[in-house]
Structure 1
Amino acid sequence: MPQAVALYIGAVIGSGILITPGITARMAGPSAIIAWICMALLILPLALSMGLLSARYPNAGGVSHFVSLAFGPRLGALIGWFFLMSVPIGAPVAALTGAGYLTAALGWSEPIRITIAAALLLFSLLINWIGFQLAGKIQVAVVGAIILVLGLAIVVAIPDMKVSNFTPFMPHGWFSVGQSAAMLFWCFIGWEAVSHLSEEFKDPQKAAVRGVIIAASIVGLLYLLTAIVTIGTQSYLNDADASLVHLIGSRLGIWGAVLSGLTAACICTATTVAYIGAASRVAFALSRSGYAARPFSHLSPRFRTPTVGIAFLGSCFVIILSLYATGLLKLELLLQLPNSAFILTYLAGCAAGVRLLWKEKVGRWISGISFAFTLIVFPFTGWAILYPLAITILFWLMTRKRAVQR
């Protein structure tokens, strides 16, 4: 159970907690707290939907497997490819974010940032190669350290909080609260990642459902408290993108800045560990069902981990970091590309939940609410829809070629 909870928290608490409390506070003022409360409550059905599906249908394919059961193997495989091709971009973004916080705290240069990001990714790849018995234990330690430091940041910031900083409460009206809520969706993505690991849980029923409830409660509370102290201290006025540094540094000085930088690196490493594990299992499941190259189904003789999938992700990371280092790809662009693919994965997973959990009143309702909520958010992806569209075209060509050869 502790490993399951740590994997969920590590997958969900990512770079969002480093930047969004300050950005939403600047966007909506103190009323951003309303957006945080609403999002924490609305995301719980989404988390529970993924948890219930993982408990009922544990499989390395995760959301792809759920969609296959509900709507057929071909659509399920396409959703699997959406997820698989999002992680090669999303993981380097997370690593660069964590490394950026650390180098900013220590005053280091951009080349060092890229080197640290590469080291974080390499560490995550090695952990996944060895297996989730070790990864789960490391994740427990990392997530425990993250919670302690975030708790410290909240506690040390309390003396600097002022009631006057919460007025005027809504300086930019209700629309700004809605904008903040839409942005906060990205802070709570990650519940789908652990569904791909459900096949490896000793007790999927217990780990998936109870683990999700515990993790969602911890994540929601941490996010909300961080947002409250960010507003109460007005640390977002100094630098909205790095409000956590100011929260800790205001009381602990340079050591606080270093601590916040290390925490950021740990947060992003926890995310990459979870997502690399999930994506490599998706590649394995797609190969097992005939929708990916056969070598992806190869397992390490010693650790029983999908080594070819892990190697594929490592190769993609090298390409993405190289393009970023040359300046051909900017972090802003990399942030946008996988977003629409992730949302489509959620949409399909929630739709599958409605169908597969139809006989269960709770499951049917939470899946339906999650589907409607995700559908509302989807138009905000904008031009980034081109990325999953390109994946769809390539998938269609691949399956058509396979049909012709048969």
Structure 2
Amino acid sequence: MTAPSLRQQLFRRKPVSAMVAETGGDDGGGGLARRIGPLQLMSFGIGATIGTGIFFVLTTAVPEAGPAVIVSFVIAAVTAGFTALCYAELASSIPVAGSSYSYAYATLGEVVAYGVGWCLVLEYAVSSGAVAVGWSEYLNQLLDDTLGVRIPDALSAAPGAGGVVNLPAIVLVTLCALLLVRGASESARANAVMVIIKIAVLLLFVVIAFTGFDSGNLTPFAPMGVAGISAAASTIFFSFIGLDAVSTAGEEVRDPRRTLPLAIIGALVVVTVVYLLVALSAVGAQPAEEFEGQEAGLALILERVTGSSWPGILLAAGAVVSIFSVTLVTMYGQTRILFAMSRDGMIPSLFAKVDPRTLTPVRGTVAVALFVGLLAGFVPLDFLIDLTSMGTLVAFTVVSIGVMVLRRTAPDLPRGFRVPGYPVVPVLSVLFCMYLISGLSGTTFALFAGWLVLAAVVYVTYSRKHSRLRTPSR
């Protein structure tokens, strides 16, 4: 038997049947337990998305686009919508953990899947760190409004942002890790409660902010032109990453071929409506130039509109709860992606070890918490947001391409959902993702390239040799 060529090794695909068999099929029986229902899963998507950016991304996006940030939200939402449809088809066809990593392994081959896996690790780790930093800002605002005290800057901000360590962010990551090791269903129930709270709080913000709406705040509408709108849309896309989190639960969902598409599309609709309402009411209630550098900005807007502190206190409290749920779900998503990669031999086996009592990857969760804690404690927020968008957009692009490849290579594969308007929608998804990638900074491209170089080194020295699909030479 001749040894496979280098090209055959790099682009070998993992059969969908083998992936599903590892999970024990649609009814479970694999390493993870199918305990999550459709409403819980949709709340996962909403929980990971609403709060990821809306509580603090306006302070970055409005200075870039001005009031036209509303258009930026529409562009980001349309891109997320096209991609969500592609995710829905692949999730219903390949109902396993690992999200776009697993989809790429089945459609585009090992080396592409490996690169996507590293993009997802970057996306989830950096986004978890970013939202933990935002949580620290709102916690300080809440303490200031209620008790008149603030955590000292040295202990509530990272180096480069005026502090030494962001201790509240590290505490948040630790609390999320403790909840995750208890079990997926327990985490899902806690997240569902927090999702209800966050939606109620944001709708309260919309109602109050509209009472202070001033059309004069919408002019000039696009002071930075198309370039500013594009740059803001690229930054805002950070706020849509939670849609990917739904598909990471593919092995822990009941009736996955039906539940996954419903949860992905349902979460997108809720998220988009809430985002557009918040963005429109915020820029109408406050001049665009006042957003820059504003911490806990939504709470401050309410205080200015009402002249009272109680709405700001309520929103800050809601943000503290909301951002907790985001960190919880993004950390969950990362552990499941690492679980899938470890099971395939791409990374060490400790990430695939499941506790027999809780049926969760406890060791992998602890490792993720340590990494995310370091990011949250020592890296400034602005640095994290664009890097998250880059990882997300690359992964979304691969998913859209994967839909087209799987339609050709496995046309008879059972699909619980099919992308409408095929192949136009997947093509548009790719084009929109590339458009948003082009709006990211040169520094972000350089850092992302460095991350992929590191991934390549690990693949050559470890992953290629330990791959479960590796065919030994004879």
Q: Whole-Å Cα distance in 1 between the matches of residues 425 and 130 of structure 2?
A: 31
8 Å CA contact retained: 2:238, 2:388:
no
Fraction of identical pairs, as percent? 22
AA paired with 2:206? I
How far apart are residue 355 of structure 1 and its match? 1.2
8 Å CA contact retained: 1:39, 1:181:
yes
Match of 2:298? 244
Which whole-Å deviations, capped at 9, do the CAs of 1:255-284 have from their partners, x for residues lacking one?
333323222322322222112111111222
* Pairing partner for 1:394 from 452, 458, 471: 458
Is 1:277 aligned to 2:332, yes or no?
yes
Q: Which moved more, 1:244-253 or 1:367-376?
A: 244-253
8 Å CA contact retained: 1:78, 1:395:
no
8 Å CA contact retained: 1:347, 1:371:
yes
AA paired with 1:356? L
Unaligned runs of 5+ in 2: 1-37, 145-149, 157-165, 412-417
Larger Rg: 2
Is 1:348 aligned to 2:407, yes or no?
no
Q: Structure 1's 6 and 361: CA in aligned 2 closer, same or farther, altered over 3 A?
A: closer
Q: Structure 1's 299 and 119: CA in aligned 2 closer, same or farther, altered over 3 A?
A: same
Match of 2:268? 216
Q: Which moved more, 1:383-392 or 1:193-202?
A: 383-392
Q: Whole-Å Cα distance in 2 between the matches of residues 157 and 361 of structure 1?
A: 37
Q: Which moved more, 1:334-343 or 1:223-232?
A: 334-343
Match of 1:297? 352
Which whole-Å deviations, capped at 9, do the CAs of 1:360-379 have from their partners, x for residues lacking one?
56254332221222122224
Which whole-Å deviations, capped at 9, do the CAs of 1:14-44 have from their partners, x for residues lacking one?
3421233354444333333223233323321
Match of 2:194? 142
Q: Whole-Å Cα distance in 1 between the matches of residues 64 and 386 of structure 2?
A: 20
2:347 aligns to what SS in structure 1?
Answer: coil
Is 1:4 aligned to 2:47, yes or no?
no
Is 1:308 aligned to 2:363, yes or no?
yes
* Pairing partner for 1:256 from 301, 311, 320: 311
Q: Structure 1's 232 and 204: CA in aligned 2 closer, same or farther, altered over 3 A?
A: same
Match of 1:333? 383
How far apart are residue 57 of structure 1 and its match? 0.8
Is 1:79 aligned to 2:120, yes or no?
no
1:268 aligns to what SS in structure 2?
Answer: helix
8 Å CA contact retained: 2:234, 2:386:
no
Q: Whole-Å Cα distance in 1 between the matches of residues 465 and 371 of structure 2?
A: 24
Unaligned runs of 5+ in 1: none
* Pairing partner for 1:68 from 105, 108, 122: 105
After superposition, residues 6-405 of structure 1 pair within 5 angstroms as: 6-105=43-142, 106=144, 107-113=150-156, 114-234=166-286, 236-240=288-292, 241=294, 242-250=296-304, 251=306, 253-321=308-376, 324=378, 329-357=379-407, 362=420, 364-379=423-438, 380=440, 381-385=444-448, 386-400=450-464, 402=466
2:56 aligns to what SS in structure 1?
Answer: helix
8 Å CA contact retained: 1:235, 1:246:
no
8 Å CA contact retained: 2:400, 2:426:
yes
Q: Structure 1's 126 and 43: CA in aligned 2 closer, same or farther, altered over 3 A?
A: same
1:302 aligns to what SS in structure 2?
Answer: coil
How far apart are residue 50 of structure 1 and its match? 1.3
AA paired with 2:173? L
How far apart are residue 168 of structure 1 and its match? 4.2
Q: Structure 1's 321 and 213: CA in aligned 2 closer, same or farther, altered over 3 A?
A: closer
AA paired with 1:272? T
1:17 aligns to what SS in structure 2?
Answer: coil
How far apart are residue 49 of structure 1 and its match? 1.3
How far apart are residue 310 of structure 1 and its match? 0.5
Q: Whole-Å Cα distance in 1 between the matches of residues 126 and 235 of structure 2?
A: 20
8 Å CA contact retained: 1:230, 1:236:
no
Q: Which moved more, 1:14-23 or 1:274-283?
A: 14-23
Q: Structure 1's 43 and 339: CA in aligned 2 closer, same or farther, altered over 3 A?
A: closer
TM-score norm. by structure 2 comes to 0.77
Q: Whole-Å Cα distance in 2 between the matches of residues 78 and 182 of structure 1?
A: 21
Match of 2:29? none
Q: Whole-Å Cα distance in 2 between the matches of residues 78 and 228 of structure 1?
A: 37
Match of 2:9? none
Higher helix share: 1
How far apart are residue 384 of structure 1 and its match? 2.2
TM-score norm. by structure 1 comes to 0.89
Q: Whole-Å Cα distance in 1 between the matches of residues 284 and 381 of structure 2?
A: 30
Q: Structure 1's 375 and 288: CA in aligned 2 closer, same or farther, altered over 3 A?
A: same
Which whole-Å deviations, capped at 9, do the CAs of 1:277-301 have from their partners, x for residues lacking one?
1111122212222222222221111
